[in-house]
Structure 1
C-alpha cells in the first residue's frame, strides 16, 4: 500500500511539474517537485525506498523527456541512493542537511544528464542550473516537514553524525 501511495503522489507531482511549475518560472527556470520529493523521501527512508522512488520518479520524468528513455531513471536512482546514504547519518528533524542535499543533488543531476547527452551527441543546455538548484532548495525547505510526516519513521537518529 505504501508503494501505491508513493506512485500516486509521484504522478500528482509530475502533473504539477508539467502544468503549474512552468508558470512559476524565474528566467525560464522552474523547480521539479517530483525530484525534490524523491530526494527528501530518500534521505528520510533509506536505501530500499530510495531505490524505488528514484526509479519511479525517473521513469515518470522520462515520459515527458524526449531523446533518452531511462536517463532520468538512472540518474534519479543513483542520486536517491546517495541521498539515502547521507540520510543514514543525520538527525532527520533538522532541515539544513536535507535542503543542502537537494541543492547539490539538483546540480549533480543536471550535470549528469548533460554529460550523458554530450556523449550521445545530443545538444542540451546547462543554463539556469543554479536558479533551479536554489528553487528546488526553497521547495525542499517548505516541503521537508510534510515529507517527514508522510514518512512517519520511528528510526529517526537523535545525533548529528556522518558514517
Structure 2
C-alpha cells in the first residue's frame, strides 16, 4: 500500500514540476520535489524502497521529458540507494539530515548531468554551470527539504505507512 501511495505522490510531483513549478524559478532554478522525496524515502524506509521508487520516478521522468532514456532513472535510483545506506548510519529523526543529504544528492545529480552532456558532445563550462545552477539548486532544494522531510517522517509513523 505504501509503495502505491508513494508512487502516486511521485507521479503527482512530476506533473506538478512540469506544469506549475516550471514557471516558478529562484535564481533560474526550479524545485526538484521528486529528488527531495526520493532522499526522504531513502532516509526513512531504506535502500530497497529508495532505490525502487527512485527507479520508478526516474523512468517516468525519462519517458515524459527526457532526451535519453535512463538518465533520470539511473541517477534517481543511485541516489535512493545511497540514501538508504546512509539511513543505516544516521539518526533519521534529526531534521538536519535531510537538507544535508539533499544537498549531496543535488550535487550528485548535477555531476551526472554534466557527464551526460560531456559524453554527448555538448560543451559548456563546468565552472559556470556549477556556479550559476548547481549552487543555487543546492540552496533552494535544501531549504525546501528542511520543511518537507518532517512531513514524511510523521507520515512514516502512521499505521498505513509502516
Fold match (TM-score > 0.5): yes
Partner Cα separation in structure 1 for residue 120 and residue 63 of structure 2: 19
Quick check: 1:146 aligned with 2:158? no
Judged with a 3 Å threshold, the aligned counterparts in structure 2 of structure 1 residues 52 and 66 are, in CA distance, closer, same or farther, namely closer
Judged with a 3 Å threshold, the aligned counterparts in structure 2 of structure 1 residues 112 and 153 are, in CA distance, closer, same or farther, namely farther
Say how many residue pairs are matched.
Answer: 154
For each residue in 1:111-139, what CA deviation from the matched residue of structure 2 results, as whole angstroms up to 9, or x when unmatched? 11210231122457734111111111111
Residue of structure 1 in register with 2:91 after alignment: 91
Quick check: 1:34 aligned with 2:39? no
Partner Cα separation in structure 2 for residue 58 and residue 124 of structure 1: 25
Q: Is the 8 A contact 1:41 1:151 kept in 2?
A: no
TM-score, length-scaled by structure 2: 0.86
Partner Cα separation in structure 2 for residue 122 and residue 8 of structure 1: 34
Residue of structure 2 in register with 1:131 after alignment: 136
TM-score, length-scaled by structure 1: 0.86
**Which ranges in structure 2 are unaligned for 5 or more consecutive residues?**
none
Partner Cα separation in structure 2 for residue 149 and residue 138 of structure 1: 18
Query: How do 1:85-124 and structure 2 match up within 5 A?
Result: 85-122=85-122
62-71 or 98-107, which deviates more: 62-71
**Which ranges in structure 1 are unaligned for 5 or more consecutive residues?**
155-163
Judged with a 3 Å threshold, the aligned counterparts in structure 2 of structure 1 residues 16 and 124 are, in CA distance, closer, same or farther, namely farther
Residue of structure 2 in register with 1:158 after alignment: none
Q: Which has the higher helix share?
A: 2
Judged with a 3 Å threshold, the aligned counterparts in structure 2 of structure 1 residues 153 and 123 are, in CA distance, closer, same or farther, namely farther
